[in-house]
Amino acid sequence: MWRRDGARHPACAPLLALCLLLGTAPSLTAAPEQALSMHEHTHGSEQAAARYTCPMHPQVQSPTPGRCPICGMDLALAPNGDTGPDTHDTAAPPAPAVSVTAHAAQVLSLRTAPVVTRAIAPRVSTWARTVADSSNERIVSAPAEGWIRAMHIDRVGMRVTAGTPLFEIYAPELQQRQRDYIDTLNRRDQMLATLTSMDGQNGQLLASLARERLRLREQFVLLGIARASLDDIERLRRVSDTLTVVATSAGQVTALDARSGQAVAPGEALYRLLDTDSAVLDVMLSPRQRATLAAPVELRVEQDSTLFALDVRDAVFNPRAQAYGVRIVVAGLTQHAPGEVLAVSLQGPAQTLPAVPRAAVLEDSEGSFVMVADAQHGYRARRVSVAVRDADWVGIEHGLDTDEMVVVDGQYLLDAAATLEASFDNASER
């Protein structure tokens, strides 16, 4: 690879030797005005007026302090009075311009593509972790003082649905409630068998017994007693030694403090169930991913192909992790346990911009650039400001015009050619 000072990079030596053997090196010519243009740009930047820019969105510029209209961050003073991204060659290109003959371009397998205008929806792939939210936790306690006779759910991590049997309990208080319930049922049946008319006082008494039956049954249900146990009491009219306690909602067992033969008291917490009808996801984004996206975006859990709306403006930067985190409560992820890591993707609204294939955009420590081709087989590196990316295309906000040609294959060979030409120039100067 080349360096800005034109010095030869040792890693390119084998590639440059190959170029010499193919006879391509004599066809390379460097633009003599390169060093002068770099000097003039640097001198002009030092005298530019101070401007403020967003650290995450460098395209946002302002002559006065303020906030970024995209992410809300405070604008920072641009270093050295930099006025931000501009079109075409406002920043120093990362390599000298090179000229390659048609034969050399064929040998180097250079391939170009035009800059086109198209709609691009920014999309990034990242990960999210499911989080146990205490606000979604339900506690199952003993309905009365007694003893646990049998356990149906006896391990942490087990999943239950509403109505799943948890344990069997023997409790004298519950037996007395059963007797009251059976007595109400028997009185109602006796009255129905002897009544000849439902008018007047007889009708009112029968309605009172019906209301009492519903009240007693509802009390059992609120205590967590299985409806199947109540149906057996009504059918057999017999007090049961034990009653079944069931889960009143779906969830996953996160804590268990019950065992067979244990004495229990009313209100004593025996199970903790995490409601799995909804899940809490912590989504992580790198600074570059956060800068790529705008609010709102569409969150897709890849494993389930489920979609949710996410506002990335709520993302909070974590200095320790050097990443942004945003929390979202979603429904339907009942099969994922707390702490599980999920692959997710985020896609924002589409933007119509000049676009190039992803292979055309190169990155270095100073940002993004492309190799622009002209009709005379000349190639020059040009800094660009990237606005959006998807799986195949990159939208360019500043730096390129529609119908310009960019190199999409063989750019690194042009880098080597530029380095070789620079080394020739340095040798001739000595």
Q: Within a domain: residue 233? A: yes
Q: Within a domain: residue 261? A: yes
| Mean pLDDT rounded to a whole number for the chain | 78
166 and 217 inside one domain: yes
Q: Which of 12-26, 85-99, 220-234, 414-428 is most confident?
A: 220-234
270 and 166 inside one domain: yes
Q: Within a domain: residue 423? A: yes
Q: Would you state the structure tokens that stand for residue 19, as one six-digit string?
A: 């170029």
> Are 407 and 110 a contacting pair, CB within 8 Å?
yes
Among residues 234, 256, 274, which one ends one of the domains?
Answer: 274
Enclosing domain of residue 374: 10-43+90-120+351-429
User: What number of residues does the chain have?
Assistant: 430
Q: Within a domain: residue 26? A: yes
Q: Is 101 exposed, middle or buried (0-12, 13-18, 19+ CB in 10 A)?
A: middle
70 and 190 inside one domain: no
User: Hey, how many other C-beta atoms are within 10 angstroms of the C-beta on 299?
Assistant: 22
Spatial distance between the Cα atoms of 416 and 19, rounded to a whole number of angstroms: 9
139 and 262 inside one domain: yes
Percentage of the chain beyond pLDDT 90 is 30
Q: Would you state the structure tokens that stand for residue 74, as one six-digit string?
A: 């405070």
pLDDT of residue 118: 92
Q: Would you state the structure tokens that stand for residue 217, as one six-digit string?
A: 């049954």
Among residues 325, 347, 369, which one ends one of the domains?
Answer: 347
**Residue 402 one-letter amino acid:** T
The mean pLDDT value for 53-62 works out to 72
Q: What is the CATH number of the domain that holds 128?
A: 2.40.30.170
414 and 357 inside one domain: yes
Q: Would you call 277 helix, strand, or coil by DSSP?
A: coil
The mean pLDDT value for 244-252 works out to 89
Spatial distance between the Cα atoms of 294 and 300, rounded to a whole number of angstroms: 16
* Number of domains making up the chain: 4
**Within its chain, how far is the Cα of 358 from the centroid?**
22
pLDDT in tens, 342-353: 899 998 888 899
> Are 271 and 256 a contacting pair, CB within 8 Å?
yes
Using the predicted structure, report yes or no on whether residue 241 has a pLDDT greater than 70: yes
Q: Within a domain: residue 98? A: yes
149 and 243 inside one domain: yes
39 and 61 inside one domain: no
**Which of 163, 45, 121, 145 lies closest to 349 in space, CA to CA?**
121
242 and 303 inside one domain: no
39 and 140 inside one domain: no
Q: What is the CATH number of the domain that holds 403?
A: 2.40.420.20
Q: Within a domain: residue 168? A: yes
> Are 379 and 373 a contacting pair, CB within 8 Å?
yes
Spatial distance between the Cα atoms of 119 and 167, rounded to a whole number of angstroms: 59
Percent helix, strand and coil across the chain, each rounded to 5? 30, 35, 35
Q: What is the CATH number of the domain that holds 214?
A: 2.40.50.100
129 and 55 inside one domain: no
Using the predicted structure, report yes or no on whether residue 340 has a pLDDT greater than 60: yes
State residue 38 phi and psi, 5-degree precision.
-65, -40
Spatial distance between the Cα atoms of 292 and 348, rounded to a whole number of angstroms: 9
Q: Would you state the structure tokens that stand for residue 108, as one six-digit string?
A: 């180097």
154 and 270 inside one domain: yes
Farthest-apart Cα atoms in the chain, separation? 126
409 contacts: CB under 8 Å, gap ≥ 6: 109, 110, 111, 359
Q: Facing residues of 393 across strands?
A: 357
Spatial distance between the Cα atoms of 403 and 242, rounded to a whole number of angstroms: 82
pLDDT in tens, 404-430: 999 998 767 765 555 555 554 554 545
Q: Within a domain: residue 159? A: yes
The mean pLDDT value for 167-179 works out to 95
292 and 407 inside one domain: no
pLDDT of residue 284: 92
- 186-195, 222-231, 238-247, 325-334: segment of lowest average pLDDT: 325-334
Q: Within a domain: residue 5? A: no
Among residues 347, 372, 397, which one ends one of the domains?
Answer: 347
The mean pLDDT value for 247-258 works out to 87
Spatial distance between the Cα atoms of 169 and 149, rounded to a whole number of angstroms: 6
